Each structure stands twice: as structure tokens, then as C-alpha cells.
Amino acid sequence: MTLSRTATTFAPPVMEARRWLEGVSFPEDRPLMNVSQAAPVDPPPDALRQVMADVALGRDDAHLYGPVLGLPPLREALAAQTGGHYNGPVTPGNVAITSGCNQAFAAAIATLCAEGDEVILPTPWYFNHKMWLDMSGVKSVPLKTGADLLPDPERAAELINPRTRAFALVSPNNPAGVEYPAELLRAFFDLARNQGIALILDETYRDFHAQSGAPHDLFEDPAWQDTLIHLYSFSKAYRLTGHRVGAMIAAPTRLAEVEKFLDTVAICPGQIGQHAALWGMQNLGQWLAGERAEILCRRAAITAGFPKLADQGWALLGLGAYFAYMAHPFAISSAELAPKLVQQQSILSLPGTMFCPADDPDGRSQMRIAFANLDAAGIATLFERLSQVDAAR
């Protein structure tokens, strides 16, 4: 019997991890620390919430179907911002607004791949990318990264065959946190162009990059749209995760195909969220700079406090954006350790096995910590709890 599309892939990892909380009581002096999901838990700033309320109450058209590819003013604003930030030619005709960045990835794959095609994903990979490829009948080809968690273009070249349609890179990376150097992204871009395949570059966490300027020069190439499919998310920047506002920047010819996909999936992105994203771009630059500064402070707190864990055999493999990617020192798999952390230390985190192929032994020793919702004091508490773990219990 042929499996259904959904049966070809695994359960959503964040939802799977939440089930570990069922029936567990957390003591008052050790409340739950949820570092499993890379999403802000605070609502948008009050001024933005007021704008959303005003749109909901004052704009009748915000409750109707909108353009499939998104509101023209938002497309124009993102084109201008992207072109300015990356010093390259980007027009509104290059921009599609999607219901979250995951939908942008799904739409990109729909335009690229047929049954049995292949996409190369560095490991550890973002699990939703793997899940969508599974459900699309597309083979995920793992590209094992080195000790620095950076993918090697030469190794990637060896994996290309006639069914290869794209590389899919995430930078700053989810789950590893590492920021891909500009020269590495250029090497993948050039390789993709030479091989006639696409480079999908997911920059969901761009606003929290340690580098203040453009993290690469790909948009400076006059013919970037022949190869590059760029993905972005407003969700992390403006705390709009529940409103699902993402984007794709690509060639207009590709967006004509994307429009077919989006029209049959959601018809149009939610309009209130789009108005919020536009207002945020126009008015919250200084506020967003403060959010980035706070994330960088928390990143520094992890670096400063990690020796406490390093002394016990933990290793910090990657750090950046919302993520710290660690290797634990215990004999058991991270898949066994993660539920123990809930029981013993009231920590909900994701094991590396959720980001790697089943036959990759590296995942057994790795953990992802999403620290965006922990301040410096919370990070210190997290490290104190991790230092007390007894994996034998």
C-alpha cells in the first residue's frame, strides 16, 4: 500500500517535544524553561498592536481577499529595503509576500521540483524543510557539515546529479546558529549557477546577524535572479509569529509560478499582519535595532557563561541568532536526554536527532537551545540546571 504524503515524514518536532510536558508538575522554585522553539513569546510592541487594531476596525478591505502575492505597498517597501541593504537591483516585481517563511520555502520547492527530484540540505538541517521535501516526493540529500558546522561547496558538488534542483541554506542557521561567511555563500551561488540549479537562501534571522552590514553580495550580481531564491520572515523582527508574514524574493517569472501555488493554498496572506509588517518597516527601525542588540547581549552571555558547562564536558558547537547548538557529554542519545531534562531540570529543549538523518550518529550527542526568550539571568539559570544533570537517572 502506498503511503500518504504526510505519512512519509516524521511528527512535527516542537509538537512532539511538547508532549513530554504532559502530566509533569514543575516545582515553584524550578519553573519550566522552554528553549525548544525559536519564536518570541512577547507580543508586538503596543504601538504596533494599536495599528493592527485600527486596521481591523477601520479598514473594511482588510477583511477581504487581497492580492495573492501580497499588498503592493509591502512588496514595494521590502524591495526597497532589500535593495538598499544588499546594494542590488530588487524591484516590487521580485517580491511575493507569503503566509510565513515556511510557506515561502514550500512555494519555492513547488516551482522547482517534480517527483523524485533532489534538494541538497546541510546537516544539521531545519526540520520543516526536510518535512516539506518528504511530503513533496522530493529527496533530501544530506550535506554533512564540518566541525565548524559550515557546509563545504566542494563536498556539495560531489552530491549533484541530474535530479538535483537546488541547495537550501539557512543563515544565520537554524538549528546551529552559525552565520555563513559571505565568501561561502558566494561559492554556493557560483556552484549553483554553473550547475544550472537554484540557491534557496533562507535569511529568517537576518535581523539578528552579528554583522551590521550586508551579510553577502549576492544581490549585487546583475543576474542574481537567474539563480537566487531569497526567503525572509517578518515574524521574528516584529513579533508577528501568530500572523504568519513571510516573503520570497526571486525572478518575476518564478513568482508567476509561485502565484499558482499560493492561490491554491491560502489565496492570500493575512492582511492585518501585512499592514503590521509594513508599519513596522516604516516606524520600528530603532526598536528593532534594540531587539538585535539585546539578542547579541544574550549571545555574549552564553559565550561568557559556557565555561561552567565546558568544565563538565559540554561543547558549544554553534552560536548565533536565536540558537546555541551544543554537544552533551553523556553516553545516552540526545533523544533520551531531552525528556530527562524535562523531568529533572524543568528544561524543554530539542535533541540533535530531530535535525539529522536517522543514520547520522552526530545527532545523538547534540542539543539545540533556542535562547531568544532568556535574558542573561535566565541563561545563567539554564547553565546551572544543565550542570546538575544526572543522565543515569
- pLDDT over 90 at 1, yes or no: no
Q: 384: which strand partners? A: none
Question: What are the residues whose beta carbons fall under 8 Å from the beta carbon of 86, sequence distance 6 or more?
Answer: 214, 216, 217, 218, 219, 220
- Of 324, 308, 253, 207, nearest in space to 111 by CA: 253
- pLDDT over 90 at 298, yes or no: yes
More confident residue, 258 or 38: 258
CA distance 374 to 249: 32
Confidence of residue 39 (pLDDT cuts 50, 70, 90): confident
CA distance 290 to 296: 10
Provide the CATH topology of domain 6-43+287-386.
Aspartate Aminotransferase, domain 1 (3.90.1150)
CA distance 68 to 269: 7
Are 202 and 231 in contact by the 8 Å Cβ rule? The answer is yes
> How many CB atoms are located within 10 Å of the residue 227 CB?
24
Q: What percent of the chain has pLDDT over 70?
A: 99
- pLDDT over 80 at 49, yes or no: yes
> How many residues does the structure list for the chain?
393
- pLDDT over 90 at 38, yes or no: no
Q: Which residues of 306-341 are buried (b: 16+ CB within 10 A; e: fewer)?
A: beebeeeebebbbbbbbbbbbbbebeebbeebbbbb
Mode of pairing for the β-strands spanning 33-34 and 347-348: parallel
Question: What are the residues whose beta carbons fall under 8 Å from the beta carbon of 255, sequence distance 6 or more?
Answer: 69, 93, 94, 95, 96, 248
Q: 343-373: per-residue pLDDT in tens?
A: 999 999 999 999 999 999 999 999 999 998 8
Confidence of residue 212 (pLDDT cuts 50, 70, 90): confident
User: To 10 degrees, what angle do helices 271-283 and 285-305 make?
Assistant: 80
Confidence of residue 243 (pLDDT cuts 50, 70, 90): very high
Are 126 and 174 in contact by the 8 Å Cβ rule? The answer is yes
Global pTM? 0.95
> In the prediction, which pLDDT does 392 show?
65
Question: What are the residues whose beta carbons fall under 8 Å from the beta carbon of 51, sequence distance 6 or more?
Answer: 275, 276, 279
Residue whose cell numbers read 513547488:
110
More confident residue, 391 or 243: 243
CATH hierarchy code of domain 62-284: 3.40.640.10
Q: Residue ranges of the domains in the chain?
A: 6-43+287-386, 62-284
Confidence of residue 390 (pLDDT cuts 50, 70, 90): confident
